[in-house]
Structure 1
């Protein structure tokens, strides 16, 4: 509206806004995207509304789901964001890929790889989430300034200093943090049972809940169904065997809360609570209600393993595992979100998944739960309890070091902000400064002209420039293309050659594009000639 007041029409104003706008999409879950009835939006425009000069139809078109399967009568906020932004991103490498496929209908005729949505992987604010004890150990061993720089500035050279900390100190720190978590859990569990109506005399068993020398697994987050809070319960006997193993037991701390309107999430919480209340295992598995930051700041440092088992690829990024990693907690996760991007077997475990194979949901949960149990039984618990010659779990401690050294610099908010500024915000700011009113008008007029004349663009003939037409892998093929541009000229278009392997459905996968150069035209038929090399890799 302000730009219209300055004399720009709707199209030119739109170009001015787009130049400086960055849109970040935060979820691949449809339920997480706001969609409203068109009339709720329309009432704010029109002759009697707050912005009477705006064209209601044009405004509504920005959020209209015009792609196959969309609901034209709904106003989609994410769709509007993508149409208003020249730059857009997901919040992990995998989420960027999922978003390109999810929103590809907004760019008809483009392959998903060409959809202009990139990614910047989330990061976390280390000073908020790193336990004071972790900071003090670093300060004592390598200096306070160097430790602070590692947590804020980042850089792998600073995190390499973790190698200077003796194994004994690392292990004593991990046990101390685990012991603090045990105390915290008992206090919170006692308060929770009192809220449920239990008397003090009934709660003596809580003094035996958790053990500071037992492998501790954390699972804490919101409880939408795709997070699969209860996947660990698929085979309860097998889980009980893990919890009650006479030599290598595990203990699990679960915290979370469901959205007030999410009945499915509430049922998952109830199912978990019923299992955790079983007198046979309640000293080994606990559920803590009212999950929030204060609780999380104790959970992340005190756990040895951070468990994450969402339905791949519905986790946009997930940051709880990052916060845990900054405290030396190892990740055990489905390859989704940030873990898909940065996982290495040196510092964690990946849970095999059955996504993309047409398995029904129940069968998929069974398969992935079985994979989780097997990892815990065969790889995780033996690694934790296995001791070296010095009586310490040397291989586990080395994984803690690798977690801090290799993941530490990557998961910082400082790295994330730097990427946003360099790749998105600074270019957007520059584009905004250069998008003067006359430039915006010129760009809007050019787009209008190209759209109006696009029907006249044709690819009439494609040939090779070599003596042979045989195409072999590893060779370079010369292409000559005859193109009709109608009322447009060479400056209005870019002619590209597209190549890639062909999948079993006959579609080009992992497409690569090469621009071709104009070498002549127009001929008597109005065609232009373009040429260029195409590498068949």
Structure 2
């Protein structure tokens, strides 16, 4: 008989072992090897059986073993030392505490978090990045407060059918069997937050608290008795359902998340957030809740509350693929935020305007969550330099009139958490050979002096570990697919610890091109089976349950890998998760990535491989476009711009094969008399020395603190000071500027010395501007100048603000300035008028610009 309900009965630990629970309930153990060693010592065989899950370990360990440990003085001493080490980690000042100007708290919202395989609340790169963000914040002492949802089934577990088709299973999750605690009021009752629904209904949620080192994380859970079954299922699974279900998840995350923060801070005395960071558009509704609070509690108007909210909000976009952005029908938004459910403080027409694609090429029928997120944030960033460029192009319509390069979307390139992704042996080796790297993050160049034999020994150890675990996983998969014991005997010799090992693991949308390596199956076979320079490939990845095309790609690769002649050289390992990801980035010699450029926002797996001594073989997309230097791996040439996708795949696959055959494998197998691949190891050292300080999440988070969080906190403080005087002033000013802007015009431009200018001369420019009733302090009149292309477009122009010279007739103003002619060749200039206010984050914030009528005001000449 099958149980109708599953729950976890927690162990009551003997008093001497109570500190074990303290250690289990703080997820620092997920990246702290000494704590993991302590858990392993509780029961080594059981630790392996529960897949290194300490909650399950304590739930299943025999009472007799606990009694034995309670009397083991050596174990108790070790337990005491580990607990004291955690307390010191949680309280001692760290990097952030040496700063004086940062925000007291940053609220970080994400729909998923990849912190540990024991807490399966992630599906891919977005969640893994969010998990690394929290862990690094803990290590650096950055006061982040994480917010997300608790999915009762998490993401799916993947297996394969006999013919290689992806099968999904959603194993139930009992929160009581996870390292969580329920947020309770001081009288012990569970905290409840609620959001309004149509027809006077409400969606209720309880709040679970996760401790990620120093960082508290709040996870909202709708599976409570106050809800009907449909409402209880809102948080049933990550990215499950569509339409209403997805919208309810995002309303709960954004609106409910802010309310959970308020409850948590009220109960615990935790500082209220000054900055709110929206990790992708899924949590964008948090801005609406903050506006509602300011209107209802502080008496601000909607526009005033909008300015106060924007000032302290950071929005990070993670996708360069329009299909990856959540869009809802406008009438669906109207149904949930309008009618009887409409709140007076947040009118539905204002909500719809925030998510409207009301720019050239936009779809007027949809509500765009990323667009709303950007309109509710004063600071927006992509996750690599190339992704920043792509995002400025994608969302440029929000700042119409400005060149793409001036669209206020910056970039902070992602990084990875070393404690999570770097093999323990590598960390210990680094601590021994390069202590300055571990202590201060400096001294990476010292790796060039490290013994190559020692690096090669370590790489062999990690490769062997991957091979052994891959065999175990492969055997389990074949048995699940119905194979008999006799049919899996070949797996004992699958893969080879001495063979060049290439890894490929990621989600399986079409643009990541899982099967590009199979474009020419015969050539791939020849590479795998080369008698002198064999290659083996380890592959993993999940397709979204609704993505039939992605599932077909997996089936294609599995069928090829099932072929008897190559199955010992190429394997697909199902159920890709953090644990498998760690083994692969640590054990593979080469990390392969071949997306359609420029559709990879960042792609951090290759960073993890690099920190473990692996080399990258990748299309120049995401972070690799930024940091590839010709010596730290290989760049697959991309055939950008080809109209035929098949032809592009054909060309790029041919380039991939050639690189593997003539460069990668040749370098790997070129050995000296000591059987060491000297050139390969030189590349490994160069990779670690040059990429090490760049790819770490500590660099990433410092960039967020210095470039985004601290400026956002300063803007927020300027808005709220003196009873929100800044927000009130800026909102009124923006309204006045928007009303007047249609009448602002550049009416006349002239300059002297254009006939035969020479390098070193200065060009005097005079401009007459009609300010349309605005004051001179409301605007900046600028000249943009520099090199021009064949179409007279300015290339990377320099901007110079002109000075007001005098008033002209009929309220017009004269401006003048001098342009230095510092280079020869084709040169040009133009002028513009833009809004100017000390509380704006930049010239383009309002998307307003007045330009001279063409062709007047444009001049170019050949400077000699």
Please state which band the TM-score falls in when normalised by the shorter chain. over 0.9
In the alignment, is residue 128 of structure 1 matched against residue 420 of structure 2?
Answer: yes
The equivalent residue for 2:808 is: 522
Between 1:217-226 and 1:456-465, the stretch displaced more is 456-465
**Aligned counterpart for 2:699 among listed residues 415, 420, 428:** 415
What is the aligned partner in structure 1 of residue 328 from structure 2?
36
CA distance in 1, matches of 2:727, 2:661: 62
Cα distance in 1 for partners of 2:434, 2:742 equals 67
Aligned residue in 2 for 1:19: 311
Deviation of the 1:536 alpha carbon? 5.4
Computed over aligned residues only, the root mean square deviation of the Cα atoms, in angstroms, reads: 1.8
Q: Offset at 1:471?
A: 4.9
Deviation (angstroms), 1:47:
5.5
* 1:238 has 2:530 as partner: no
Q: Tell whether the 8 Å contact from 2:639 to 2:648 is kept in structure 1 after alignment.
A: yes
Partners in 2 of 1:253 and 1:101 — Cα distance? 36
Query: Which among 60, 63, 78 is matched to residue 370 of structure 2?
Result: 78
What's 1:224 paired with? Answer: 509
Relative to structure 1, the CA distance from residue 501 to residue 269 in structure 2 (aligned partners, 3 Å threshold; closer, same or farther) is farther
Shift of the alpha carbon at 1:197?
A: 0.3
How big is the shift at 1:523? Answer: 4.0
Pairing 1:277-426 to 2, within 5 Å after superposition = 277-355=562-640, 357-426=641-710
What are the equivalent positions in structure 2 for 1:487-506 lying under 5 Å apart?
Answer: 487-503=773-789, 506=792
User: 1:55 aligns to what?
Assistant: 347
1:148 matched to 2:427: no
Tell whether the 8 Å contact from 1:307 to 1:332 is kept in structure 2 after alignment.
yes
Partners of 1:405 and 1:40 lie apart in 2 by 52
Rate the CA distance shift 1:523–1:313 in 2: closer, same or farther, 3 A: same
Q: Distance in 2 between matches of 1:319 and 1:161?
A: 24
Distance in structure 1 (CA, Å) of the matches to 2:342 and 2:360? 33
Q: Which runs of 5+ in 1 are unaligned?
A: none
CA-CA distance at 1:535 after TM superposition: 4.1
How many residue pairs get aligned? The number is: 528
Please give the alpha-carbon distance, in whole angstroms, between the structure 2 residues aligned to 1:40 and 1:253.
44
8 Å CA contact 1:44, 1:51 repeated in 2: no
Partner of 2:40: none
Q: Which residue of 1 aligns with 2:29?
A: none
Give the Cα–Cα distance (whole angstroms) in 1 for the partners of residues 786 and 519 of structure 2. Answer: 42
**Contact 1:519–1:531 (Cα < 8 Å) also in 2:** no
* 1:54-97, Cα deviation, whole Å (9 max, x unpaired): 21111110000112221212111100011011110000011011
Aligned residue in 2 for 1:460: 747
Aligned CA distance change for structure 1 residues 505 and 284 (closer, same or farther; 3 Å)? farther
Q: Which runs of 4+ in 1 moved over 6 A?
A: none
Q: Quick one: distance in 1 between partners of 2:481 and 2:371?
A: 45
In the aligned structure 2, how far is the partner of 1:474 from the partner of 1:271?
64
**C-alpha distance in 2 between matches for 1:382 and 1:211:** 18
Per-residue deviation, 1:125: 0.6
Quote the Cα distance in structure 1 between the aligned partners of 2:665 and 2:361. 47
User: Counterparts of 2:797 and 2:604 in 1: how far apart (Å)?
Assistant: 31
CA contact (8 A) 2:515 2:556 kept: yes
The answer to whether the 8 Å contact 1:46/1:53 transfers is: no
8 Å CA contact 2:302–2:345 kept in 1: the answer is: no
Which of residues 443, 451, 454 in structure 2 aligns to 1:166?
Answer: 451
1:358 positional shift: 3.5
CA displacement, residues 407-439 of structure 1 (integer Å, 9 cap, x when unaligned): 111111111110000000010011101103222
| Aligned twin of 1:273 | 558
Matched, 1:250 2:535: yes
Equivalent pair of 1:253/1:287 in contact (CA under 8 Å): yes
Counterparts of 1:306 and 1:108 in 2: how far apart (Å)? 40
Of the structure 1 ranges 399-408 and 387-396, higher mean CA displacement relative to structure 2 is found in 387-396
Where structure 2 has 5 or more consecutive residues not aligned to the other structure, the ranges are: 1-291, 824-864
Alpha-carbon distance between aligned partners in 1 of 2:744 and 2:673, rounded to the nearest angstrom: 75
Q: How far apart are residue 511 of structure 1 and its match?
A: 3.5
The alignment status of 1:193 with 2:483, answered yes or no, reads: no
2:763 to 458, 461, 477: 477
1:450 aligns with 2:728: no
1:427 is the counterpart of 2:711: yes
Structure-2 separation of matches of 1:319 and 1:503? 36
For 1:216 and 1:476, locate their aligned partners in 2 and report how far apart those are by CA, in whole Å: 61
Q: Does 1:260 align with 2:545?
A: yes
Q: Is the 8 A contact 2:591 2:606 kept in 1?
A: yes
Give the distance between the partners of 2:752 and 2:816, measured in 1 at CA.
11
Deviation, structure 1 residue 472: 5.8
- Mean alpha-carbon deviation: is it higher for 35-44 or for 343-352? 35-44
Alpha carbons 2:804, 2:813 under 8 Å: kept: no
More deviation in 524-533 or 226-235? 524-533
Match of residue 274 from structure 2: none
Q: 2:392 aligns with which of 100, 108, 129?
A: 100
With over 3 angstroms needed to count, the CA separation of the structure-2 counterparts of 1:524 and 1:53, relative to structure 1, is closer
Structure 2 Cα separation of the partners of residues 73 and 19 of structure 1? 29
Alignment of 1:502-513 (within 5 A): 502-503=788-789, 506-513=792-799
SS at 1:257 equivalent: coil
Conserved? CA contact 1:521–1:529, under 8 Å: no
Is 1:531 matched up with 2:822? Answer: no
Relative to 1, partners in 2 of residues 1:239 and 1:63: Cα closer, same or farther, differing over 3 Å? same
Q: Scaled by the length of structure 2, what TM-score is found?
A: 0.59
Give, in angstroms, the shift of residue 498 of structure 1: 1.9
Q: 3-state SS of the aligned residue for 1:498?
A: strand
Which secondary structure state, in structure 2, belongs to the residue aligned with residue 513 of structure 1?
A: strand
SS at match of 2:563: coil
Query: Which protein has greater RCO, CA pairs closer than 8 Å, 6+ apart?
Result: 1
CA distance in 2, matches of 1:228, 1:360: 15
Change (3 A) 1:24 1:189: same
